[in-house]
Structure formats: C-alpha cells, structure tokens
Amino acid sequence: MPTSQPPPTGAAEAENTLAGIGEFGLIDRLTAERAPTPATLLGPGDDAAVVAAPDGRVVASTDVLVAGVHFRLDWSNPEQVGRKAAAANLADIAAMGAVPTALLVGLACPPDTPVETLTGLTDGLWAEARSVGAGVVGGDVASSGTLVLSVTALGSLEGRDAVTRAGARPGDRVAIAGRVGWAAAGWAVLARGFRSPVAVVSAHRVPEPPYGAGPQAADGGATAMIDVSDGLLADLGHVARASGVRIDVRSAAFEVPSRLVDVGAALGVDPLHWLLTGGEDHALAATFPGALPDGWTAIGTVSEGEPEVMVDGRAYDGGPSGWEHFTR
C-alpha cells in the first residue's frame, strides 16, 4: 500500500527531500509568509505559541492520522490529506459548541519524503484552518518509518457553556447537521479501484463538517452533542452511555441521496448502511429539548432505558455500527 510519493533521485535530492533540506529548513519553508490570525498572539518560531483565550477557557482536541490507516497518498493528494487532518480536529471543537482558533501540528515522516508532499500537507492544513478563521501556530517534526500527522486543535467557547456527550435527557429529540454516508461510500468506491463518481470520492478525500452548526446548537439549547467521526450509530452510542439514556433512530427520517443510491446499486450495498454507520463525514449529532435550529434535521428520540442505540425500535443488524480501532 503506497504511503509516500517516490523520492527524487540525483542532484535534485538535496533540495527536494526532507533529508536534503533538514528539519529547520523544512520548518522555514512551511511557515514562511503565513499571516497570523486574530487569535494568534505569537505564532511559529519560539518555544511555544501564544493564543488568545478571551473568556479564560480553551477547548482542546487531538487526532492522529497514520498513512495506510487514515489516508493513502495514492487515493488523495497531500493537500487533501492536510485538509482532512485539520477537519477531523476542527469538527471536534465545533461539537463542543466552540469556535476553532488554532492548530498545532506534529509531523513524523521518512527522511526521503519529498518536500512537495510536506508543503502540500501544510497548504491543506492552513486552507482548512483558514476556512474557520483559525491558523497553524506551531508544531514539531520528527523522523519516522511511516508518515504520521498529529493535529491538536484549540477553540474558544466565547462565553458559552460547553456541550458535552453527557447531557441528553428523556424527551429530547436527536438531530444531525451536515451529511453522513458520503465518505463511507467514497471509501467503498476507492477500495474497489474506481475513482468516480467524483462527488462521492471527494467526500472521502476532504470532508465538509458543518462547523458553524456547533456554536449554533449550543446557542439553541442543545443538551448533548458529538462529532460523527466513527459512524452515526457508534457515536450516538457514546452519547447514550455518557447520558445514561436510550436513543432510538428512525430510518425513515433519512433521505438517501440519489448519488449514494446509484453507488450502492453498483456495489451491492444498501446505502442506508453508509448513512447509519459510515464515519469521516464529520457531521454533528445533538439532542434538543425543544425546537431545532435551522439546518438541523430530526432523526430520532431520547428515552429512559438501558444505554443503547436502536434503529426503528430494534438493535441494528446490518453489520458493525461504526469504526473502532484494534478490533479489526
């Protein structure tokens, strides 16, 4: 499974690989001409960054992406991988009801990694961060046999209370914002050796989290919220267990996109399975005691009972409910 681009050879190697330019030469290239964001009081170049925290609290989240596990450079280009790595963390910040402010990036890679690959990753990280008004404020580089990205996101609650997984109560409605199932369908297409439909494959390469829906939900009275990274049923299971409630999802509440219907027919997969169990779209799921904010769609209810997630009143029997490391 390819995890890095072929290294250049000959005299060009000194300029085009990490081994050629060295750690500090790489850092200089990756940080040059990057304008700071308003929350960045001190950016890359010192022992640590300084990021503004106006209300005295900082929301923080970390994810690790490993080549061959979370991404493949024969499926996605480096900029797409960078955007995906940033999105996975920025969505976690939004799921707390916060606004992202900054990213810290740890990068480990083989010495023969082309500089072009690393600049592409950085461009993607910056582009996704900039889309929500955040910036990359620092990080570290190390040598490794495998390309690994570790991204830490910081955010501000802007005076709100954090929305955790533990607040769902009987009588609440369950709702989602953003799309689900697309990234899983894209993975299935790529795994079969195809590169189209482009819209479906692109959903796997670069997710589109509804970042603004997190603070919106917090302002709208959400009692619990979570980023859908491993699969809707699996992640709602975290809410059910943290809140001590039962969640019942209605399959009829989902409108399966026609593009996923077509892909499912071609691959012999019920597309509803992707919507219920597919991860990496980074939609947001939340529970509300009253009216839903604009852009949120009701998909189920919360009730008393053993902490579990049911589909149409029954345990889901369509396969694994989502992704879990170390069990496959």
Give the pLDDT confidence of 286-319 residue by residue, as tens digits.
999 999 999 999 999 999 999 999 999 999 987 6
The CATH code of the domain that includes 232 is 3.90.650.10
**289 in a structural domain:** yes
CA atoms of 82 and 80, how far apart (whole Å): 5
Whether 321 is covered by a domain: the verdict is no
Residues 236 and 184 in one domain: yes
Mean pLDDT lowest for which of 102-111, 266-275, 317-326?
A: 317-326
Q: Which element (helix H / strand E) includes 123?
A: helix 115-130
- Is there a single domain that holds both residue 143 and residue 193? no
DSSP string for residues in 137-205? EEEEEEE-SS-EEEEEEEEE-TTPPP--SS---TTPEEEEES--SHHHHHHHHHHTT---SHHHHHHHH
Least confident of 5-14, 48-57, 60-69, 167-176: 5-14
140 is in an annotated binding site: yes
Q: Which of 30, 101, 64, 65 is nearest to 205 (CA)?
A: 65
Q: CB neighbours (10 Å) of residue 255? A: 8
Number of Cβ within 10 Å of residue 143's Cβ equals: 12
Q: Which domain holds residue 75?
A: 10-156
Q: State yes or no: 235 annotated in a binding site.
A: no
Q: Are residues 208 and 248 in the same domain?
A: yes
**129 within domain boundaries:** yes
pLDDT tens, 166-208? 999 999 999 999 999 999 999 999 999 999 999 999 999 999 9
CATH for 24? 3.30.1330.10
- Structural domain tally of the chain? 2
Task: Report whether 241 belongs to an annotated binding site.
Answer: no
Percent of the residues in the chain that have a pLDDT greater than 90, as a whole number: 77
The CA dihedral of 153, 179, 84, 165, to the nearest 10 degrees, is 30
> Is 165 marked within a binding site?
yes
230 known ligand binder: yes
Tokens of 16: 């085009």
The SS3 call for residue 8 is coil
> Is the Cβ–Cβ distance between 177 and 95 less than 8 Å?
no
Q: Is 323 annotated as a binding residue?
A: yes
117 and 202 housed in the same domain: no
65 with 135, same domain? yes
Q: Looking at the structure, do residues 189 and 142 belong to the same domain, yes or no?
A: no
pLDDT tens digit string along 108-158?
A: 999 899 989 999 999 999 999 999 999 999 988 899 999 999 999 999 999
- By the 8 A CB rule, do 211 and 153 touch? no
Q: How far is CA 113 from CA 22, 66, 79, 124, 244, in A?
A: 11, 15, 15, 17, 47
- Contacts (Cβ under 8 Å, ≥6 apart) of 11: none
Please tell me whether residues 108 and 233 are part of one structural domain: no
Query: Would the annotation count 47 as a binding residue?
Result: yes
First to last CA, the chain: 18
Residue 62 assigned ligand-binding role? yes
